[in-house]
Chain A
Amino acid sequence: MSASIEHAAVVRRAPGPTTIPFGPQHPVLPEPLHFDLVLEDEKVVGVVPQVGYIHRGLELLIDKRDFPDYVHVAERICGICSFMHGMGYCESVEGLFATIVPDRARWLRTFWCELERVQSHLLWLGLAADALGFENLFMATWRARELVVDVAEETAGGRVIFGSAIVGGVSRDPDDETLKRCLAAMRDVRAETLRLADVMIREPTVRHRLDGVGTLSHDDAYILGAVGPMLRASGHDYDVRSRNYAAYGEIEWKSVVETAGDSMARALVRIREIEQSFAILDRVVATMPAGPVSVPVRGMPPKGESWVRLEQPRGEVLYYVRSNGTRQLERFRVRTPTFANIPAMVAAFKGSSLADVPTIALTIDPCISCTER
């Protein structure tokens, strides 16, 4: 007996940093995200992100497809923001051709962009609630989200992959009656979302997990190149919609900014953006112009390059295309918001406790499929 106690004393080492893996198959994340967390006791002192589990290499498919067909691949960069990916690709190709898209197409694109933002933020609200152990709220949020998805299916034709963006406009033209009926159906979602969000931000257990956790300072957010809600939660008023793509120049909207920089601020930015998006949807339908929804884009794209920036639910995204004068473009490049947010995410993890890692990861709302492509 005494011998074994002595043995235990010999093998005990001085406490030092421990590395534990987080992911890739982790209950809190639907997607395979992998970190090596370096811990000192319960404190996170270092984070090494590892990517590549869902890398497909779809950017290189660009020279195997004709440019109008590649939009199907572009939409499947990520299922959460599929329409915006398709539309971003289309806008960059339209930039090569210098195509002027009809007004109604621009308005419909805005409609679907905001619809997608609503469903993405509701999806996030549900997953965040689930990560906090608030399963009832998760279920209730996803029930509300289904009504938004129904509207997407009725107007665009798809539930998650909308499939309505084409080079030169949009492929579907829901009539004004349908759009008004959809808006009426979404009134319930709007009221329900407000109620659920209120539950989320007033609940003391939620506040306890989010207030002051994973703080990203005003300067760090800028220096580390954060984008989207992550940047706006740290007090920067930066929203790419102010560059007036689609119909944002002609529709009144305001970017949502919070200043605290913690997990709660990021949650609040997204919750307030849902409300903002509902307001934009109302205005889009109220001012929807009549007319055609697409112009034909024919022939070979001229040699050259073109890029556009959009504001996705997760932040700024950049699309770049280069043409060599044939039907197959030469290069396609996407810089996605989660990729830009990784350095800031690592900064937000440092100094937090191990138990807070899943909730901080969720308030960043990572989209690994976009990041790895």
Chain B
Amino acid sequence: MSTLEKSPWLIHYDASSCNGCDIEVLACLTPVYDAERFGCIVTGDPKQADILLVTGSVNNLNEPVLKNIYEQMPEPRAVVAIGACAYSGGVFADCYNVKGGIAKVIPVDVFVPGCAARPEAILDGVVRAAGLLAERRRAMGRGKRGTVTEGEAS
């Protein structure tokens, strides 16, 4: 088990969520669900983060912000899309200012279902993403540095 897998650092960005999933992300980090037992902590700095948690869907204004955060993260990195909005726009899919799920902007590794997503489901998503990180790390260690996720960002 690599250090990365044992202690992934998280960064959370609220794209255009209704706050429901954001509250559940915070609830995950607090004592009852306690994501910190997996070694996770939340950081505000993309350059220190391994896993990007995104809630909500993209619009013209937040699309560059989301892309910017993703591109600043060092590899290996993983993206967890939380909730129905991050998948497809959810209940707001028909709104004029909703472009759709975040997979239109950045590559997504894990989709967490729910509206709002339950903390148990979010934890599951984070643990799966941590597993992916370890895989990617191993791939990079075999001299394929950068080949795993490079070029996926559009």
Contacts and interface: CB of A to CB of B under 8 A. Distances in A.
Contacts of B26: 30, 142
Contact of B116 (A27, A160, A367): A160
Interface string B22-47: 11111100111000000000011000
A26 interface: yes
Contact of A54 (B24, B62, B91): B62
Interface in A46-61: 52-58, 60-61
A138 B30 CA distance: 8
Contacts of B115: 76, 161
A80 B23 CA distance: 8
Contacts of A146: 27, 30-32
B108 interface: no
B20 A160 contact: yes
Nearest to B119: A159
B111 interface: no
Classify the secondary structure of A's interface with B. Answer: loop
B14 interface: yes
Interface residues of A, number: 40
Contacts of A138: 30
Interface stretch (B93-101, B128-136, B137-145, B146-154): B93-101
B15 interface: yes
Contact of B56 (A54, A77, A367): A54
B59 interface: yes
Contacts of B31: 139-140, 142-143, 146
B88 interface: no
Nearest to A64: B94
Contact of A76 (B22, B30, B91, B98): B91
A24 B62 contact: yes
Given A54-B56, A57-B98, A76-B92, A24 B65 contact: yes
B18 A369 contact: yes
A73 interface: yes
Contacts of B16: 53-56
Given A57-B97, A60-B95, A139-B30, A79 B18 contact: yes
Contact of A369 (B17, B62, B98): B17
B19 A369 contact: yes
Given A30-B12, A31-B22, A52 B61 contact: yes
B112 interface: no
Nearest to B59: A55
Interface string A354-373: 00000000000001010000
Contacts of A31: 14, 19, 22
Given A27-B44, A30-B14, A61-B95, A53 B61 contact: yes
Contacts of B57: 56
Contacts of B12: 30
Contacts of A126: 30
B22 A30 contact: yes
Nearest to B20: A79
B154 to A, nearest CB: 20
12 contacts: A26-B44, A30-B22, A31-B19, A53-B59, A54-B16, A54-B56, A54-B59, A57-B98, A61-B95, A64-B94, A73-B91, A146-B32
Query: Can you list the 10 inter-chain pairs with the closest CB atoms, starting with the nearest?
Result: A27-B44, A79-B20, A142-B30, A79-B19, A54-B16, A57-B97, A76-B18, A146-B32, A143-B31, A160-B20
Interface of A: 24-27, 30-32, 52-58, 60-61, 64, 72-73, 76-80, 82, 123, 126, 138-140, 142-143, 146, 149, 158-161, 367, 369
Interface of B: 12-27, 30-32, 43-44, 56-57, 59, 61-62, 65, 69, 91-92, 94-98, 115-116, 118
Given A57-B98, A142-B31, A159-B24, 14 more contacts: A25-B65, A54-B15, A55-B16, A56-B57, A57-B95, A58-B95, A60-B95, A76-B92, A77-B18, A79-B17, A79-B19, A142-B27, A158-B116, A159-B118
